[in-house]
Each structure stands twice: as structure tokens, then as C-alpha cells.
Amino acid sequence: MKAFMKPRSGNKWLVVGTMSGTSLDGLDLAAVEFRCSENRWNFSIVAAETVNYSNEWEEKLRTAPELPGEKLIELHNVYGKFTGQQINRLIKNHRLLPDLIASHGHTVFHQPEKGFTFQAGNGECIAAETGMTTVADFRSGDVAMGGQGAPLVPVGDRLLFPEYESCLNLGGFANISFEKTEKRIAFDICPVNFVLNDLARKLGKPFDENGDLGRKGTIDNHLLEKLNLLNFYSQSPPKSLGKEWMDNHFFPVTEASNLSVQDKLRTAYEHIAVQIAKSAPATGKMLVTGGGAFNSFLMERFKQYLKCEIVIPSSEIINYKEALVFAFLGLLRYLGEINCYASVTGAKRDSSAGVVFPGGVD
């Protein structure tokens, strides 16, 4: 594999990573300095923030799967320009001199079983807006090789957080990664904020802060059993989840129930805890990140089921771990190194995933 660039100063690189999750919390930006010494990677977050979506942007991204082709291409480009503008603002406000940009984009479609995945936010537009080389479209290459195109964060888990036996992320969906027979194994487990936020909105709240709404509900064992019996949970990894699965399999079950929204919410919490306990290693330290780590009721339910040691890091790592890791994946791609494991995605081989869009004369 060809390396595209050399470190600017010694073994240091400054990369701006971006991430927009399925829960539509906003666009996460993280400027991260990476250092490599004696085959060990270290990092420091230099600046990080979340750009909350306006009602208009939230609606655009939420309804993107319904757009006709030409309108979807337009959104792809406009969202790329928007992302570039937010990166420019971060760079200006913090007086940064990045070597590279790495942008995950916002997932509109994810159907690897049909051979495609699509993240809005054209890397070409980001590179044009910022004038900086950009790595984007991280998932398509792996899907083309028969992989799930997800999860991709496990490369970062293994190389940036080696002191933990497992890493659990609680975003729109829960995903976990850990070592098994000297290979990194990772997969999506179940919906988290995707379902919790949906039910909270029905109660007039954008999300269930600290789990206060769910805590007041009652578990319905009939609904809990139906959710736990969904076919996805009996499948072996590699496997991943997307909005389409929620619309076709999960939501029809919850919507068919005559329970109150609060009882559905309480049952969803129990369902999440049960599924994560089934998937997590029984021993060792587990790093827990993502917005769900701030949900005290959800964490209480985990502690009733999980046997491993739960470690909740600083709020900066909780909030920005995915943006941080995509910055790292972009750097690995730019250096021509492996950033996607076949043992995780089920692809034909390991790869250096992502498309590099030059941003000008280097």
C-alpha cells in the first residue's frame, strides 16, 4: 500500500475527524493529534465540539431515505459543504493547522446484504470547501468486498485503547468489540438511542434524560420476549444494524403493542440491557462510550446484568470517541495502512478503507 504523506513534525499528525450518528444528536468534530512511537499509537484531543442540527437539518437528514435520486445527490453535496464550513469554523476558532480531514458523513442507507451503503456528505465538497485533503466514504469499499462495512471503530479500539478487554459504544445502536482467538471481533448488538429517543419524542421530549421517563414505566414481559426473539439476535457475527432494520422489524413490534409509551420505554431499557449482557465478555474491563453512557438508568440496568468491570471515561472521550476514531481511520488510510478488519466485517480481506479527496497542492 502506498503512503500518501509523511508526518509533519516527527511522528505527529493533526487530523480533524467528523461523525454524525443515527440518533441525529448533531455533527461531532474532533481535532486530534496522533503520535506513533515504537509501534504504539497515542492521541490527544486538541479541540472538540458538537454542532447541534437546526430543525431544518434534522428534518433533511431524517427524511433523506425518501428523497428521489437527484435530490439525494443534491443533499450529499450540500451536506458536504455544510460539514466543510463547520470544520473551517473549528479550525479558525482554535487556530489549527491540520494535516488531514476525515469525515464519516451521515448514514442514509445501510443494506450490506444487498451490496450497498451510503453516507451523505460528499468528501469532494468537504475538500473543496476547506482546501484540505479529505478522507471519506469509509464503508463502501468493504461492502464491495462482501463485508458489512461496519462496525469500523474496532481498529481504533484495538490500537488506541488496548488496556480494555472490550469496548462498548452506546449511540443510535450499541456495538461492541473485543479480542477473540487473537482476532478483533465486533458487531452491532441492538438499538439504543434510536429507540429510546423515538419513544421519548412521543412523550414530548427530544431524549430521555438520565432515563427519568423510562424509570417510571413498567416492564411488559410479553413485549420484552417478542423483542428478544427478533431474528437478528440469533445471528452470528459479522452483523450490523441500520434504520431499515428498525423500520421493518423492530418498530412494527413496538407499534403493534397497546402498552403506554412509558411502559414501552421501560421495556426497551430492559431489552437493551439483556441483549448487551448476552454479547459482552464476562470478565475484564469494558470501556463504555457514546451518549448512552450519560443515561444513569441505562447504566443501572447494565450493572444488574453485566459481570465485567464497567469503565466510564471522561465526558470528552464519551462524546467524541467516534469522531476521534474516524480521524484515526482517515490517518491510517492516508498512510496506506490497514484500517478495516475482515474479522469484524466479514469481507474477503483486511483493507485500507476510505476515499482520498485531494484538497489542493500539498
Give domain status of residue 4, yes or no.
Answer: no
- Indicate if 202 and 337 belong to the same structural domain: no
Point out which residues pair with 286 in neighbouring strands.
166, 310
Residue-wise pLDDT tens digits, 220-268: 999 999 999 999 999 999 999 998 999 999 999 999 999 999 999 999 9
Instruction: State whether 290 and 250 are in the same domain.
Output: yes
Same domain as 228, residue 177: yes
Would you say residue 6 lies in a domain? no
In this structure, the answer to whether residues 22 and 97 fall within a common structural domain is: yes
Closest CA to 16 of 53, 50, 37, 45: 45
Supply the pTM of this predicted model: 0.89
Range of the domain at 269: 154-316
309 backbone dihedrals φ, ψ, rounded to 5°: -85, 120
| One domain for residues 172 and 312 | yes
Within-domain flag for 7: no
Count: domains in the chain: 2
| pLDDT at residue 8, as a whole number | 52
Q: In what order do the strands lie in the sheet with 173-180?
A: 183-191, 173-180, 166-170, 285-289, 309-311
Residues 312 and 218 in one domain: yes
Question: 311 and 225, same structural domain?
Answer: yes
Indicate whether 224 and 95 sit together in one domain: no
Cα–Cα nearest to 17, from 145, 104, 120, 121: 104
Output the nine-digit C-alpha cell for 77: 453535496
Q: What distance in Å separates the CA atoms of residue 93 and residue 91, rounded to the nearest whole number?
A: 6
309 & 243 share domain: yes
Residue 73's CATH number: 3.30.420.40
Identify whether 309 is part of a domain.
Answer: yes
Long-range contacts of residues 73-79, Cβ cutoff 8 Å, at least 24 apart: 75/120, 76/120, 76/121, 76/122, 77/122, 77/125, 79/105, 79/106, 79/120, 79/121, 79/122
**Shared-domain flag, residues 164 and 281:** yes
Residues 78, 83, 84: CA angle, nearest 5 degrees: 95
238-251 burial, b for 16+ CB within 10 Å, e for fewer?
A: bbbbbbebbeeebb
Same domain? For 110 and 205 the reply is no
Asked if residue 97 belongs to a domain, the reply is yes
Residues of the chain with pLDDT under 50: 1-7, 362
Domain shared by 126 and 164, yes or no: no
